[in-house]
Structure 1
Amino acid sequence: MSKLQIGIAHDQESATVWDDAVVKTREADHEWMEVNLGSWMNSYFQHDALVVIDSENQPIYHFIAGGDGLSLNKLRQAYQPQVARLRERLTSGDETGVTDQVLTIGESDLIILEGRPAVVSAKPIVSDTGDIEQEPGQEHIHVAFRFLDGSFTDVTAKEYQLDHLHFSWQPPEDGEYAAAELHSRNGNVIGYFLWTPFQPGRSVFYATLPSTGIAIVGVFVSLGVFSLVLQRRSVRLEASHAQLRHLAHHDPLTGLLNRVGFSDAAIAELDASNPDEPSSILFIDLDRFKEVNDTFGHPVGDELITAVAVRLRHALPGAVIGRIGGDEFTALLPGATGERAAGAAEQVIRDLSEPFELQGNRVKIGASVGVAVCDDATEFPEASRKADIALYHAKAAGRGRFAIFGKHMDDLLQGRRKMERELRAAIDKKVQIETVYQPVYAADTGALNGVEALARWRHPKQGVISPDVFVPLAEELGIISELGRIVLEQACEALGPYQDLTISINASPLELSSDAYPLHVLSTLAKFGVDPDRLEIEITESLQLEEKSQAAVAIATLRAAGVSFALDDFGAGYSSFGRLQNLHVDRIKIDKSFIDALSPGDSSAVVQAIISMARAKGLQTTAEGVETLEQKMVLQSLGCDALQGFLLSRPISRVELHAMLDRPRERECL
């Protein structure tokens, strides 16, 4: 258990041994502490609660993940003994335990917090350069809490291949489980970790069963055979132990190093490297992996991860490579900085952008990469943090990019994290999120026959933020379903009384992959008195469906209730007419890129083919982005069913929409 406490303290040092941390905590910069000492420690290291304490032992910042019934007062009661001991040691100049790998002293203990076992760890916030003068004992202190009965057991079980690992207040009553006692600082047992032990003896027993039968006939023969079996058993046990040691440091799916193994191997490599040749750390995050996993299922997702590992080995020869999360990889490039590191990042992006052939499916993903320079082993935690920040910036700039850490990134990251918090708050409180409505007109008569509902974020200081910015952010944060619910409810409330109009909404693959999505849609329609056949849900080309996937089930359920589906932006990605055989939709929305190329006399063969194919399959067509009269005329001549775009109407507010709907003459476009 001491290893766990050391690990948490080591995590803290990635942010507490830092000049910026000393300065920002002295300034009580709440936003900076939130980004670097709170939410980041939670998202990256899974710490459940964090507190920053000033020189007077007063908390100036705290973070609590998910609530968990905790309060600052409860945390204060829990951390006071550790903070008091640490303050006393700091004042006396005690540096017991400080090594090349442990940068500062600390105090930790195993406690029971709100009826749950937890580690509490206190570390001082100190200068990494020594350029900032700090009076011993007056340092600010960072306190981390980590529950032992939550996600910790899942992570530990996976990393160390411990079957059925769980926390228990009582020791095992029989031999079914192996157990490890958890002792607090004063020696009290606060609980037990239990897991199903590895039992090579069973296989030995069954292997020797025939021999024991022979032993009944001949004892001497049996002894000889048994001796041979024991020898073989010893060999098998040694092999099993070696396998367990390997699994403790490697990812079982890809064979790459896991988080623990990568950290150990990277530090060893840096220790042995030439100090005059800095190395680079790459953080690699797959783009669109979750969509693939949700669409095709976990077996295809696992096959994809394995294939990615193969390509990374090819792209980064000589690198130390690890898989540190579901779709997250990291690599250490010994002696590589500057152009070499940038070239390696570009190679990774190129290789991972090539399509994968998986179980008969052609899957295209991508990757974003963050790069940071690491001078030596002592810099490894800080360099890892910087690489993670650089990755964050690469993803913010768009998919398929890399970024090399620069000092300006901390400030930019704070802005990004601030936007995350503000978007969460806007969606949680259902404020600032507005729905606007773009009319859709029949191409032949010009009559208004539907409205597409679109989300807008009206920020109190920044004004209207583009959906291209906040919708992908909502997807990354896992709150896209909540955003979709707001739009659906606002649209149904606004358009419920207008029975002759179709309501169109957009649904992301993440929403469709939720078990609750069909029920939520149908219950919302019922709440506002909207018939299901008035709702059209637009899905993207990236949604590829297995017959029994959750998304396919959701679409089938809603279609059976009368809801229709449209394929949005057809042709913008990698659509083919053949793919429509696997997508049960009622309408194709032709992407704006095709409409932009239309004018009288120009070739319109592609649009003509799309409309003809749709008719042959009994599908309706809508042209998006109609901006000129010439485009409208060509589309009408080609037989397109519906038109949508700025020529006809820009997206309008609810008030403007009602004003238009209540004046019949304005229901027709020119």
Structure 2
Amino acid sequence: MKHTRFRSLLLILILPLFAALVIYIGLFSVLELATERSDKIAAERQKNLAETLVSKMQAAVAHDQESATVWDDAVRNVSDGNAEWMKANLGKWMFTYFQHDRAYVIAPNGRAIYVFAADEADSTKAYQQVSDIVSPLVNRLRARLATGDDAGISDQVLSIGESDLLKVNNHPAIVSVKPIISDTGNIEQKPSEIYLHVAVRYLDGSFLARMSSEYQFDGLNFAWTKSAEDKRSFAAARNADGREFGYFSWHPFEPGEAVAKSVRPALAAVGLSVFVALAGMGAVVAARNRKLRQSRAELEHLARHDTLTGLANRARFSEHLATAISGSAATQSNAVLFMDLDRFKQVNDTMGHPVGDRLLVLVADRLRRIFPDSVVGRLGGDEFTAVITDVTSDQVSRSCEQVIESMRRPFEIAGTPISIGASIGVVIGVGPDVDPSDLTRKADIALYNAKAAGRNRFAIFGPHMDELVQERRALESDLRLAVLNRRDLEVHFQPVYAAPNGALYGAEALLRWKHPLRGLISPEVFIPIAEECGVITQLGDLVLEEACLAAQRWPDLEIAINASPLELNNEAYSLRVIAALNKHGIDPARLEIEITEGTLLDSAGECQRNIEALRSTGVRVALDDFGTGFSFFGRLQYVAVDRIKIDKSFVGGFDSQDADNRAIVEAMIRLARAKGLKTTAEGVETEEQRAILKELGCDHLQGYLMSKPMTKDAFDRMVGTNVIDLQAKR
């Protein structure tokens, strides 16, 4: 009986209890080990994240400064001591927009000419609090400027600087010093005369709150020394020389402990529930581990992708390109495309960075649809790239044409259509032995050639392109020198005649560049270079000045000048023209400004505002090369001009057997007359062309049949003493 009882007890109680205890102890041990390891990994990740955030904030403060310190306006206004401007752009605005707590502008003599401190109303006291702290950074930066040190400058970093973690007014702070320099290079600055901008961003207060909220740091604070408080994690903040500057501390995220707390009650239950709890524990632990892996994957994605568009960044692009090449067959062709958006800077400057950012996102979406099976990247700014593997040159050409066509279609942002374009440089490499860096260099050269050829097109790299790039760069340098010295540039004048009686009506001012070694260089070559390198405004001012002088010399003639879309997009253009006319005492009605149809694509409306301002004073506006652009008849319904100039391609067509050219020109003249506009035909080279244009009712003629462009002295000799007679004829 006792034996039976014992067996029953053994079978019913002892063995199940022993088995349950063994399972429980085993599971409990595993659970505690997993808890400790998971919590340790999570704590280490939080520590790395905290250190990374501080490092990124240092870079962000310096980057924020460059939005206002690398700027011609900043150089001029700081040099002039314009306190209101500095407040609006270098001080209070930095606080409002970037949360910089303090800002100082330091003159070359070391004196602070502007002080902003959100936590100190007394500017003198605010500068005294940091002068000794900031001096070493200022001295180091000035020494680097003096030696021409440009270490660290890249496509994203526009100027050198010095930064460190320092104690400011008992606050831990990032202190960054940046030079205030020209963004165009047009302002000459000696290193000893450069003003410096100092930005201070506290690492406590709003920074801690944002860090805690966005990255879920529980109980986050900053202390100058480590506390002995148990169960807090610490991340050291180190200054430039590697010393520990202070410590961020927080209650660590403990995913393992959270799991253990939920599982322990189940383990204390009866044996069968242990098995159930084990399954539950495994599921919960797996879920927690999945969350950690997901967080890690997100961090890795951020490190390899552009945060704005989600496309591959430079590092991911380079990695993929190397992998694609190394895995290629011996005869496999791979293409690298470098794409640059045309007119993006104009959109960004005139409509604001939020619109520019939204435009980049929409561009990225279109590129993804065009290259669904390829890696598309954004290298920075408005530069995109794509790697197409195992492709033929014809396929690449079709893809490029597809991109150009896609970018030409307007983008609609907040109800406003925005028109841009794209230039593409392509290089094709064969086999696994090509150098990836050599491919990217050649793609960049091809892009340069595509942009030089007129934009909105693509170019595939050829061996001649290296020489073309060097030649174009030499031309750009020579043009800058010619503009700077006002040398080798001369304005010629081509007469314009009345069609009915052949009387001299006026002249068009045309800029000529006679290079000392290359001879006469076509405007079709040097005008795009001038627009790209930023000297088109100086060239326009030169022509405007010569046109005003010509108007004084020939008081009975109308004078016409050409205006670049970039000039008309400058809000000060109309003021410059009116000031020049007033300076020389010229009646505005005697000046005519010729614009191209491309100018009318200005979605921000700046060009149209300049045109309206000029016409309101009496200046006349002509639409040049009419008929060669887009929807040219429909455009006359929406743009206010005084004259259309019929392109020479239509006039030259009179000599062919095709009657369409005559019909088109006749339609243009009738349309202009119906709108109350004058007409001028360009490129008249034969008597037959002149007769047809006179018969069709064209108002004025211009071309080699009557006269080529000539110097002002030659024009003087042509006019001679016939000014009064010319006046009588008119």
Query: Is TM (by shorter chain) over 0.5?
Result: yes
User: Could you tell me how far apart the structure 2 residues matched to 1:316 and 1:525 are?
Assistant: 53
CA deviations 1:143-192 (Å, max 9, x no partner) are 853469x972799xxxxxxxxx99679556587x974899xxxxxxx998
User: Could you tell me how far apart the structure 2 residues matched to 1:346 and 1:544 are?
Assistant: 29
Which residue of 1 is the match for residue 373 of structure 2? 318
User: Could you tell me how far apart the structure 2 residues matched to 1:624 and 1:347 are?
Assistant: 38
Which residue of 1 is the match for residue 540 of structure 2? 484
Structure 1 counterpart of 2:611, one-letter code? I
Which residue of 2 is the match for residue 79 of structure 1? none
Tell me by how many angstroms 1:330 deviates.
Answer: 1.7
1:356 is matched with which residue: 401, 409, 415? 409
Contact 1:353 1:364 (8 Å CA) reproduced: no
Which residue of 1 is the match for residue 620 of structure 2? 564
User: Could you tell me how far apart the structure 1 residues matched to 2:610 and 2:466 are?
Assistant: 41
Which residue of 2 is the match for residue 333 of structure 1? 388
Tell me by how many angstroms 1:418 deviates.
Answer: 1.2
Unaligned runs of 5+ in 1: 3-68, 71-109, 122-142, 156-164, 183-189, 206-223
User: Could you tell me how far apart the structure 1 residues matched to 2:352 and 2:496 are?
Assistant: 35
Question: Structure 1 residues 496, 290: closer, same or farther in 2, change over 3 A?
Answer: farther
Which residue of 2 is the match for residue 662 of structure 1? 720
Question: Structure 1 residues 192, 498: closer, same or farther in 2, change over 3 A?
Answer: same
Tell me by how many angstroms 1:375 deviates.
Answer: 6.9
Contact 2:173 2:200 (8 Å CA) reproduced: no
Tell me by how many angstroms 1:438 deviates.
Answer: 0.9
Which is helix-richer, 1 or 2? 2
User: Could you tell me how far apart the structure 2 residues matched to 1:632 and 1:655 are?
Assistant: 27
Which residue of 2 is the match for residue 145 of structure 1? 151
Give the RMSD, CA atoms, in angstroms: 4.7
Contact 2:404 2:456 (8 Å CA) reproduced: no
Structure 1 counterpart of 2:157, one-letter code? F
Which residue of 2 is the match for residue 622 of structure 1? 680
User: Could you tell me how far apart the structure 2 residues matched to 1:387 and 1:509 are?
Assistant: 28
1:73-112 equivalence runs, <5 A: none
Contact 2:162 2:176 (8 Å CA) reproduced: no
Which has the higher mean CA deviation after the structures are superposed, 412-421 or 326-335? 326-335
Which has the higher mean CA deviation after the structures are superposed, 294-303 or 491-500? 294-303
Contact 2:164 2:174 (8 Å CA) reproduced: no
User: Could you tell me how far apart the structure 2 residues matched to 1:293 and 1:570 are?
Assistant: 29
1:607 is matched with which residue: 665, 668, 675? 665
Which residue of 1 is the match for residue 142 of structure 2? 115
Tell me by how many angstroms 1:477 deviates.
Answer: 1.6
User: Could you tell me how far apart the structure 2 residues matched to 1:408 and 1:384 are?
Assistant: 17
Which has the higher mean CA deviation after the structures are superposed, 410-419 or 659-668? 659-668
Question: Structure 1 residues 306, 641: closer, same or farther in 2, change over 3 A?
Answer: farther
1:578-617 equivalence runs, <5 A: 578-598=634-654, 602=659, 604-617=662-675
Query: What SS does the corresponding residue of 2:644 show, helix, strand or coil?
Result: strand
Question: Structure 1 residues 592, 378: closer, same or farther in 2, change over 3 A?
Answer: closer
Normalising by structure 1, we get a TM-score of: 0.63
Which residue of 2 is the match for residue 501 of structure 1? 557
User: Could you tell me how far apart the structure 2 residues matched to 1:546 and 1:586 are?
Assistant: 19
Tell me by how many angstroms 1:119 deviates.
Answer: 13
Q: Greater CA radius of gyration, 1 or 2?
A: 2
1:343 is matched with which residue: 392, 395, 411? 395
Structure 1 counterpart of 2:405, one-letter code? S
Which residue of 1 is the match for residue 210 of structure 2? 199
Question: Structure 1 residues 191, 444: closer, same or farther in 2, change over 3 A?
Answer: closer
Which residue of 1 is the match for residue 250 of structure 2? none
Which residue of 1 is the match for residue 492 of structure 2? 436
Tell me by how many angstroms 1:556 deviates.
Answer: 2.1
1:193-592 equivalence runs, <5 A: 197=207, 199=210, 201-202=212-213, 246-247=301-302, 249-267=304-322, 269-270=324-325, 279-287=334-342, 289=344, 305-334=360-389, 340-341=392-393, 343-353=395-405, 355-359=408-412, 361=417, 363=419, 365-371=421-427, 373=429, 379-399=435-455, 401-544=457-600, 549-592=605-648
Query: What SS does the corresponding residue of 1:436 show, helix, strand or coil?
Result: strand
Tell me by how many angstroms 1:252 deviates.
Answer: 4.4
User: Could you tell me how far apart the structure 2 residues matched to 1:329 and 1:566 are?
Assistant: 37
Query: What SS does the corresponding residue of 2:636 show, helix, strand or coil?
Result: helix
Structure 2 counterpart of 1:430, one-letter code? R
Q: Percent identity?
A: 43
Which residue of 1 is the match for residue 60 of structure 2? none
Contact 1:628 1:647 (8 Å CA) reproduced: yes
Question: Structure 1 residues 525, 396: closer, same or farther in 2, change over 3 A?
Answer: same
Which has the higher mean CA deviation after the structures are superposed, 239-248 or 422-431? 239-248
Equivalent residue pairs, number: 503
Tell me by how many angstroms 1:412 deviates.
Answer: 3.4
Query: What SS does the corresponding residue of 2:494 show, helix, strand or coil?
Result: strand
User: Could you tell me how far apart the structure 1 residues matched to 2:349 and 2:679 are?
Assistant: 28
Contact 1:111 1:120 (8 Å CA) reproduced: no
Structure 1 counterpart of 2:654, one-letter code? L
Question: Structure 1 residues 244, 304: closer, same or farther in 2, change over 3 A?
Answer: same
Tell me by how many angstroms 1:449 deviates.
Answer: 1.7
Query: What SS does the corresponding residue of 1:597 show, helix, strand or coil?
Result: helix
User: Could you tell me how far apart the structure 2 residues matched to 1:534 and 1:383 are?
Assistant: 54
Question: Structure 1 residues 516, 237: closer, same or farther in 2, change over 3 A?
Answer: farther
Query: What SS does the corresponding residue of 2:654 show, helix, strand or coil?
Result: coil
Structure 1 counterpart of 2:142, one-letter code? G
Tell me by how many angstroms 1:414 deviates.
Answer: 2.1
Question: Structure 1 residues 166, 510: closer, same or farther in 2, change over 3 A?
Answer: farther
Contact 2:335 2:396 (8 Å CA) reproduced: no
Structure 2 counterpart of 1:152, one-letter code? V
Normalising by structure 2, we get a TM-score of: 0.59
User: Could you tell me how far apart the structure 2 residues matched to 1:299 and 1:581 are?
Assistant: 32
CA deviations 1:268-311 (Å, max 9, x no partner) are 55566678867442222344555676788877765654444344
Structure 2 counterpart of 1:115, one-letter code? R
User: Could you tell me how far apart the structure 2 residues matched to 1:600 and 1:412 are?
Assistant: 36
Tell me by how many angstroms 1:480 deviates.
Answer: 1.4
Which residue of 1 is the match for residue 698 of structure 2? 640
Query: What SS does the corresponding residue of 1:614 show, helix, strand or coil?
Result: helix
Structure 2 counterpart of 1:327, one-letter code? D
CA deviations 1:463-511 (Å, max 9, x no partner) are 1111111111112222211111111112222332322221111111111
CA deviations 1:216-266 (Å, max 9, x no partner) are xxxxxxxx9xx99xx999999998887676455434443322334433444
Contact 2:490 2:512 (8 Å CA) reproduced: yes
Contact 1:434 1:455 (8 Å CA) reproduced: yes
Tell me by how many angstroms 1:345 deviates.
Answer: 4.1
Structure 1 counterpart of 2:576, one-letter code? H
Which residue of 2 is the match for residue 94 of structure 1? none
User: Could you tell me how far apart the structure 2 residues matched to 1:536 and 1:113 are?
Assistant: 54
Contact 1:435 1:456 (8 Å CA) reproduced: yes
User: Could you tell me how far apart the structure 1 residues matched to 2:202 and 2:528 are?
Assistant: 41
Question: Structure 1 residues 516, 114: closer, same or farther in 2, change over 3 A?
Answer: farther
Structure 2 counterpart of 1:199, one-letter code? R
